[in-house]
Structure 1
Amino acid sequence: MVAADSIELVVGLGNPGSEHEKSRHNVGFWLLDEWALKTRTDFSKEARFHGLLAKGAAGMYGLKPTTYMNLSGRSVAAFARYYKVKPSQILVVHDDLDLPVGSVRLKHGGGHGGHNGLRSITQELGTDGYRRARIGIGRPPEGWDVTNYVLGSVKPSECDEICVAIDRVVDSLEDIRAGAFTQVMNRLNTREKKKAEGI
């Protein structure tokens, strides 16, 4: 039996196409690729959901919208309607400019913070009451264009830090699926706070 606090769907945000594979904006795709690798799960194209879909052994789905970032909500809403999944049972993984590179924070609900993927999902679901895993990509240097920064390729040093953050979330997905989102959120967020404070 699935707990009320469980996650039925993990959405990784990103843009389709080989030219975007290494971009900062695609860390959501990276996370689901790592999850699929660790769980020996394969993604397949699902036209009705406008994306690539995989189902893990525990029954949790992974969805990579192929609509491009600004229309991600179409994919998420189509899945939610078909499987009658509540917004609170959806975890959206996305890049976050407001967190240092390699940081990770979980949260439930909240604004889109200027992220067009979140903006689209909130609009299509009619609520911001879904859960998020925020993967820090840091702010661009002064004078840089933000769009070019998020669409730009990650530096090797940044990649190492981001991959560590991704691993922490992937390793927690089984607990999250089982209904321990709040406990995992508190554990990961407390760890990040101590890290920021140098403890």
Structure 2
Amino acid sequence: MTSWLLVGLGNPGPEYERTPHNVGFMTADELARRARASFSAPRGMRAWVAETIISAAGLGVPPGDKLIIAKPRTYMNESGQAVRLLAGFHRVPTDRLVVVHDELDLDVGQLRLKIGGGDNGHNGLKSIRAHLHTGDFHRVRIGVGRPPGRRSATDYLLSPIPAALREDLGVEVARAADACEALITRGLVAAQNEFNR
């Protein structure tokens, strides 16, 4: 049996639960909900982990592959520690790693899938690249938009999602989960053709 590792990026703690920086966590939660899989905190993994068989998750073919859904318990800046441990323990190659994260340079309502690239100032991606010594993994980038006016990006990302954006971001989280399913079961190009817009 081969495995896929899907990591939703975010910060642990109730104060960060509904912030733009945590849309990766929200997507992981949605995928686990669809799979009826529960998160646990395996010793030494530094992440909450839910496991399912892809066919059992309603993800279609190829059946029998294992899907490991993870949310690092480190803060965003140290996400790479958890990803390295999980990928090593489950023997997941980088071409079967999917990282879901917020993207300031995309407006709310925009979603992009790609493989490889830089970190574009995203500290979670920077940490993963440093710990894996490569950036050649899949990314599902969820647009959260730039903060209005002179508000700092950090303040915007770590504050509760503005009421005006909550519904739209909720829709985007569900669409990101759909995109993850398509990527894993149908491949990157097919998923890009459907979701990159």
Normalised by the length of structure 2, the TM-score is 0.89
SS at the partner of 1:123?
helix
Extract unaligned runs of 5+ from structure 2: 55-65
Give the 5 Å matches for 1:61-140: 61-140=68-147
Match of 1:18 in 2: 14
Query: Size of the alignment, in residue pairs?
Result: 186
Q: Distance in 2 between matches of 1:19 and 1:40?
A: 26
RMSD: 1.5
Q: Distance in 2 between matches of 1:35 and 1:169?
A: 9
Q: 78-87 vs 111-120, which deviates more? A: 78-87
Match of 2:189 in 1: 182
Q: 55-64 vs 105-114, which deviates more? A: 55-64
2:174 to 148, 167, 171: 167
Q: Distance in 1 between matches of 2:87 and 2:175?
A: 26
Q: Distance in 2 between matches of 1:139 and 1:174?
A: 27
Extract unaligned runs of 5+ from structure 1: 193-199
Q: Residues 32 and 38 of structure 2 are in contact (CA less than 8 Å); yes or no, is this contact kept in structure 1? A: yes
SS at the partner of 2:148?
coil
1:176, distance to aligned residue in structure 2 (A): 2.4
Q: Distance in 1 between matches of 2:94 and 2:141?
A: 17
Q: Distance in 2 between matches of 1:30 and 1:160?
A: 13
Match of 2:39 in 1: 43
Normalised by the length of structure 1, the TM-score is 0.88
**Structure 1 residues 37 and 20: CA distance shift in structure 2, 3 A:** same
1:158, distance to aligned residue in structure 2 (A): 1.1
Q: Residues 142 and 176 of structure 2 are in contact (CA less than 8 Å); yes or no, is this contact kept in structure 1? A: no
Q: Which runs of 4+ in 1 moved over 4 A?
A: none
